[in-house]
Amino acid sequence: WQKMGLPVTRQDIINWQTKSTEYYLEPLYQLLKEKLLEQKFLHADETTYRVLESETVKTFYWTFLSDKQAEKPITLYHHDPHRSGQVVTSFLGNYSGFLHCDMWQAYGQLVQATLVGCWAHVRRKFFEAVPPEASNKSISNQGVRYCDRMFALEKDWENLSNQERLQLRQKKLAPLMEEFFDWCRKHKAMTLPNSKLGKAFAYTLNHETTFKHVLLDGRLVLSNNLAERAIKTLVIGRKNWLFSQSLNGAKSSAIILSLIETAKRNDLDPEKYLKYLLYKLPNESTLTDKEALSAYLPWTKQVQASCR
């Protein structure tokens, strides 16, 4: 561009991204957030991120997304300097549905939501407690096998209706969980509390009620892998671009990535969708009219026809 007489600086490119995001894409992001909070089943996860101009050494990207069965799937990313419960309550507000998450204490700040614990985390705790060359009969391996049995049952039921799955969970999974928690209580008393196995027992039993919440609805799932895969997308990106210069840049990236991943979940070509938005939205008379803005949601007929 400079050779053609049009110098484009790095700051120009940064401004184009942040300003176009702020003026045109963020209103749509906020509408998607409203739509997300209307859904009954959500997933959440978070990861660390570096911002050079941040006052804190670490900042965080959060992801909040609808479940696999959602008719209007949404995946949102949110950047914040903190990992506190205030971030969760600020983003989710008075959300009163089911939230799949890990046992990070921040999620406990949600008063009205029903937290659903991730059994993949339970399995991982016991797997990491397996000593080298341990026999299959070792206590930690027994814990792993309990979890494997639960996941095997869920695998057998994956093509059933939610109601059929719920009935089978009450009949087969609930008794297996009770057996597992009783087993944990029995062996915890004989295990050093600061050992890996002791910590696995403590983690499991401290959140027993939350891990049992999967029994409340056939649409709930045993693991939070959906959110972990969503956050992995960001982790892979982080390995490539390493950091953001500013908090505004990190926020802008979160909004753009949200639109890209939500487009994918709605079977759109994300590049076509972004081009469509950046071509159409600047020509709207106002972006505060939710009815007009709703025409740009990824599941609408016009967007589906134009951006596949």
Mean pLDDT throughout 186-204? 96
pLDDT of residue 19: 95
Spatial separation of the C-alpha atoms in residues 41 and 33, rounded to whole Å: 14
pLDDT of residue 135: 74
Parallel/antiparallel/unpaired status of strands 41-49 and 98-101: parallel
pLDDT of residue 31: 98
Q: Is the predicted pLDDT of residue 298 greater than 80, yes or no?
A: yes
Contact 252, 62 (CB under 8 A): no
- Closest Cα to residue 64, out of 42, 97, 49, 32? 42
pLDDT of residue 137: 80
3-state secondary structure at position 191: coil
Mean pLDDT throughout 126-143? 89
Q: Is the predicted pLDDT of residue 87 greater than 90, yes or no?
A: yes
Mean pLDDT throughout 285-296? 94
The pLDDT-based confidence of 2 (bands split at 50, 70, 90) is confident
pLDDT of residue 134: 73
Contact 76, 29 (CB under 8 A): yes
- Closest Cα to residue 44, out of 123, 108, 127, 124? 108
Q: Is the predicted pLDDT of residue 293 greater than 80, yes or no?
A: yes
3-state secondary structure at position 273: helix
pLDDT of residue 231: 97
The pLDDT-based confidence of 48 (bands split at 50, 70, 90) is very high
Long-range (24+ apart) CB contacts under 8 A made by 248-254 are: 248/18, 249/14, 249/17, 249/18, 249/51, 250/49, 250/51, 250/59, 250/61, 250/79, 251/21, 251/79, 252/17, 252/18, 252/21, 252/22, 253/79, 254/61, 254/77, 254/78, 254/79
Q: Where are the alpha helices (DSSP H) in 189-269?
A: 196-206, 208-212, 225-241, 247-265
Q: Is the predicted pLDDT of residue 1 greater than 80, yes or no?
A: no
Q: Is the predicted pLDDT of residue 235 greater than 80, yes or no?
A: yes
For 51, which DSSP code?
B
Q: To which residue do tokens 């399995």 refer?
A: 123
**What percent of the chain shows pLDDT beyond 90?**
92
Spatial separation of the C-alpha atoms in residues 169 and 268, rounded to whole Å: 35
The rounded mean pLDDT for the chain is: 96
The pLDDT-based confidence of 132 (bands split at 50, 70, 90) is confident
The pLDDT-based confidence of 144 (bands split at 50, 70, 90) is very high
The pLDDT-based confidence of 6 (bands split at 50, 70, 90) is confident
Q: Is the predicted pLDDT of residue 225 greater than 80, yes or no?
A: yes
Mean pLDDT throughout 147-160? 98
pLDDT of residue 3: 85
- Report residue 164 as tokens: 């059929």
Mean pLDDT throughout 71-81? 98
Mean pLDDT throughout 120-130? 97
pLDDT of residue 5: 87
Mean pLDDT throughout 253-280? 98
pLDDT of residue 245: 92
CA 270 to centroid of chain Cα atoms = 19
What pTM was computed for the model?
Answer: 0.94
pLDDT of residue 90: 97
Structural domains of the chain sorted by starting position, each given as residue range(s) with its CATH number in brackets? 2-115+224-268 (3.30.420), 119-206 (no CATH)
Mean pLDDT throughout 113-133? 95
**Sheet order of strands, 75-80 included:** 75-80, 59-66, 41-49, 98-101, 114-117
